[in-house]
């Protein structure tokens, strides 16, 4: 056991080498993602299903391109932080490729809770609502990830503190992101039962994007759907979901509005708060409960 956790510290002079070792899987996958997205756009037109809105899809593309740039800029900082944690703890794992599997499992568990908290805490919901604001469900929705989503890194600290090598950590992160791309389509129906039981398939993830009462706040997992079954948040896809959020956004094209409209709404709510407790509620409360309170006040004003 001591030899298993006996890896030496990593010199900060080797950060650049680690960056190269962890690869740019997402960058390499862009041509493939572009191909399948264009194929889906063509098929959507050909089949007359028309589940693409031009402004909405362009907005998703602009958001995605912004994310690529942000991640390229921040990658060295993230690797440096992971190396710092790796060097501080005494139980460091060697760079062994088989550790990808336990790391992926634990990372996915952390991802489940990061995602679930993002639906019940407005501060984190503001970093996630952009992903749900599209009224159409297609592959471009996978590009709609907040430019400030990195606040949620704290949920993944357990992965780093367990002693996984930083290269393994970052490869697993990229695998998780890439796996979620194919889930955002209506053109893949339900898969054989074994896949639906184990993995987050397009069917399972369509449920998560539904704004229908039975689908709201269900199926939070990223790769393995059994987390939802374990923690009581699983819902089978039955009726076709109604996509989008309950409060529609006005500007579908502007990436700044898509990223920050919830913060703008939060600032407006804080102006109406009656006391500190209510201010706290408007920042960290449940988005659903906040909407309910605001609707109640509107009804009272009408009376």
Residue 1 has pLDDT above 60, yes or no: no
Residue ranges of the domains in the chain? 12-231
Residue 49 token pair: 């299903």
* CB distance 165 to 93 below 8 Å: yes
pLDDT given at position 89 = 95
pLDDT in tens, 9-42: 998 888 888 888 887 899 899 999 999 999 999 9
What are the Cα distances from residue 193, in Å, to 136, 150, 169, 190, 228? 26, 34, 30, 8, 16
Rounded-to-integer distance, Cα 183 and Cα 202, Å: 4
pLDDT given at position 142 = 97
Burial class (CB in 10 A: 0-12, 13-18, 19+), 196: middle
* CB distance 241 to 213 below 8 Å: no
Residue 2 has pLDDT above 60, yes or no: no
Distance, CA of 239 to chain centre: 24
Longest dimension (CA), the chain: 72
Confidence band for 302, pLDDT divided at 50, 70 and 90:
low
- Which position has the token pair 């489940």? 112
Measure CA of the first residue to CA of the last residue in the chain; give whole Å: 70
User: What is the 8-class DSSP label of residue 247?
Assistant: S
210 - beta bridge partners? 243
Mean pLDDT of the chain: 93
Phi, psi torsion values for 6, nearest 5 degrees: -105, 25
In sequence order, which residues have a C-beta less than 8 Å from that of residue 44 and are 6 or more positions away? 50, 51, 52, 138
Residue 290 token pair: 């906040």
Closest by CA to 269, choosing from 254, 247, 244, 250, is: 247
CA angle 170, 128, 175 (to 5 degrees): 25
Distance, CA of 28 to chain centre: 20
pLDDT in tens, 113-157: 999 999 999 999 999 999 999 999 999 999 999 999 998 999 999
pLDDT given at position 250 = 81
Rounded-to-integer distance, Cα 6 and Cα 9, Å: 9
Residue 50 has pLDDT above 80, yes or no: yes
pLDDT in tens, 80-126: 999 999 999 999 999 999 999 999 999 999 999 999 999 999 999 99
Please compute the mean of the pLDDT values over residues 263-273 and round it to a whole number.
94
User: What is the 8-class DSSP label of residue 222?
Assistant: S
* CB distance 165 to 7 below 8 Å: yes
* CB distance 146 to 260 below 8 Å: no
Rounded-to-integer distance, Cα 163 and Cα 182, Å: 30
Please compute the mean of the pLDDT values over residues 259-288 and round it to a whole number.
95
Rounded-to-integer distance, Cα 125 and Cα 260, Å: 11
Rounded-to-integer distance, Cα 281 and Cα 39, Å: 44
């Amino acid at each position: 056991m001591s030899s298993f956790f006996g890896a030496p510290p990593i010199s900060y002079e080797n950060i650049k080498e680690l960056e190269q070792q962890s690869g740019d899987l997402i960058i390499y996958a862009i041509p493939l993602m572009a191909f399948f997205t264009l194929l889906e756009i063509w098929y959507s037109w050909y089949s007359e299903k028309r589940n693409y809105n031009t402004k909405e899809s362009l907005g998703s593309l602009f958001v995605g391109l912004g994310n690529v740039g942000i991640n390229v800029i921040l990658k060295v900082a993230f690797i440096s932080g992971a190396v710092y944690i790796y060097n501080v703890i005494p139980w460091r794992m060697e760079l062994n490729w088989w550790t990808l599997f336990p790391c992926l499992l634990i990372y996915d568990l952390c991802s489940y809770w990061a995602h679930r908290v993002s639906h019940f805490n407005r501060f984190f919901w503001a970093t996630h609502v952009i992903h749900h604001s599209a009224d159409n469900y297609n592959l471009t929705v996978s590009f709609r990830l907040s430019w400030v989503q990195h606040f949620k890194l704290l949920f993944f600290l357990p992965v780093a503190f367990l002693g996984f090598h930083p290269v393994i950590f970052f490869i697993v992160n990229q695998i998780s992101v890439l796996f979620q791309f194919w889930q955002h389509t209506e053109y893949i129906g339900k898969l054989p039962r074994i896949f639906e039981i184990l993995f987050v398939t397009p069917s399972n993830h369509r449920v998560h994007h539904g704004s229908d009462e039975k689908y709201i706040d269900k199926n939070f997992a990223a790769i393995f759907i059994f987390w939802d079954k374990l923690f009581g948040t699983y819902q089978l896809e039955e009726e076709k979901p109604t996509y989008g959020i309950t409060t529609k956004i006005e500007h579908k094209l502007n990436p700044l509005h898509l990223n920050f409209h919830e913060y703008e709404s939060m600032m407006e709510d804080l102006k109406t708060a009656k006391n500190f407790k209510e201010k706290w509620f408007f920042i960290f409360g449940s988005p659903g409960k906040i909407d309910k309170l605001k609707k109640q006040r509107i009804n009272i004003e009408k009376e």
